[in-house]
Structure 1
Amino acid sequence: MENIITIKGKVKFNITMDPGVWIFDDRRIDLNTYFISRNQEEDDLEEYTKSISKHWDREIMEGAVYPPTLKSEKKFEKEKILTGTFGIPFKPFLRNAEPAENAEWLVIETDSSEVKLPLEKGFELILGFSKDGKPLKEDGPVHVYYGDGSNKDTPIKNVKGFTVL
């Protein structure tokens, strides 16, 4: 039960989260690259158009190329999961809790202190749950990172829960 984290307070629904199952969640993000790539804002439509154009040109010149076998893709994903450092956006959990209209603050409760943030900043948080393929047992179950990556080297650790005020 020590790995269970809750969202409570001025919410319509109290949410219970288990970081142990997030490794299977498609929303997981690689924390080794997330804050680096997030800082490199690019025009998504332009990037998409370029990639489609490049693919179309290659198919015209070379013919269709089939993707690698599923077996090699699965092996790559398994290796990535066993050695990766992952997090998950906090926004879907907070949105599902449905904070009250008059809620203004999010309190991050740790073993030794509390961190109070404006609720808008709470929607941008990233919850780290894995480092080098291992769950965060000593100072976890999650580490909290600000959405802008300003605390990526010193995340909030020993998180026990969240309270909306």
Structure 2
Amino acid sequence: MIIQIKGNVKYPITLDPSVWIFDDRKVKLEEAFTPSTVPNEDVIESNSKLNKPPVNHSIKKYNKKELLEHSYLMPIQEFIENAEADKQVSEAILKTTDNNEHTITYSELLESFLLFSIDGKQIKENGPAYLYYGDGSNQDDPIKGIKVIELI
């Protein structure tokens, strides 16, 4: 239940969505596509210039009930940036567990989210993650079963 980021990158990365439930960067699904939380170009640019958001830097007591009642997404941009894509990368091929491939633009990928938890549980069926576009345009039909993100 891992996701590989590979292709025209300096550092291929393997992601384990099962550990994201305690990550400070996660976003609740029901809040992700409201106008105040959809990342826009100004927010993305300012985030890239400022310090990155903390990743489990604070020790919090998590409300277990809350974690088990909500579905969570993880913004994908920081993971893609850490892989250091080549400058010529313009697209990403999303390979799924059902052996399908979906091609999206690199900019769409950077603004996307990965759904990794439904009602506080790891996604087993069609998992390990679903991809949602940053604008929420595919909320009713996310790309399911993401196992490889290949940058081309």
**TM-based fold match above 0.5:** yes
Q: How many residues end up aligned between the 2 structures?
A: 131
- TM-score, length basis structure 1: 0.74
Q: Percent sequence identity over matched residues?
A: 41
Give the Å deviation of 1:74.
4.1
Cα distance between partner residues in 1 of 2:124 and 2:107: 29
Partner of 2:80: 94
Cα distance between partner residues in 2 of 1:90 and 1:40: 13
1:37-68 Cα shifts (integer Å, max 9, x gaps): 44789xxxxxxxxxxxxxxxxxxxxxxxxxxx
Amino acid at match of 1:99: A
Question: 5 Å matches for 1:139-150?
Answer: 139-150=126-137
Partner of 2:99: 112
From the CA coordinates, give the structure whose radius of gyration is larger: 1
Q: Do the aligned partners of residues 74 and 157 (structure 1) sit closer, same or farther apart at CA in structure 2, a change above 3 Å counting? A: same
Query: Contact 2:12/2:83 (CA < 8 Å) preserved in 1?
Result: yes
Give the Å deviation of 1:117.
1.1
Partner of 1:70: none
Cα distance between partner residues in 1 of 2:92 and 2:38: 28
1:50-102 Cα shifts (integer Å, max 9, x gaps): xxxxxxxxxxxxxxxxxxxxxxx946x22111111001000000000000011
Cα distance between partner residues in 2 of 1:37 and 1:150: 13
Cα distance between partner residues in 2 of 1:10 and 1:122: 14
Query: Contact 2:38/2:135 (CA < 8 Å) preserved in 1?
Result: no
Query: The residue matched to 1:36 in structure 2 has which SS?
Result: coil
Bigger Cα displacement from structure 2, 113-122 vs 85-94: 113-122
Amino acid at match of 1:13: Y
Question: 5 Å matches for 1:32-51?
Answer: 32-38=30-36
Would you tell me which structure has more helix in proportion to its own residues?
1
Alignment RMSD: 1.9
Query: Contact 2:116/2:129 (CA < 8 Å) preserved in 1?
Result: yes
1:10-43 Cα shifts (integer Å, max 9, x gaps): 00000000000000100000001211244789xx
Bigger Cα displacement from structure 2, 101-110 vs 86-95: 101-110
Cα distance between partner residues in 2 of 1:121 and 1:31: 18
Structure 2 spans left out of the alignment, 5+ residues: 40-59
Partner of 2:70: 84
Amino acid at match of 1:32: E
1:157 aligns with 2:149: no
Cα distance between partner residues in 2 of 1:12 and 1:161: 16
Query: The residue matched to 2:148 in structure 1 has which SS?
Result: strand
Structure 1 spans left out of the alignment, 5+ residues: 42-72
Equivalent of 1:29, from 2, 27, 30?
27
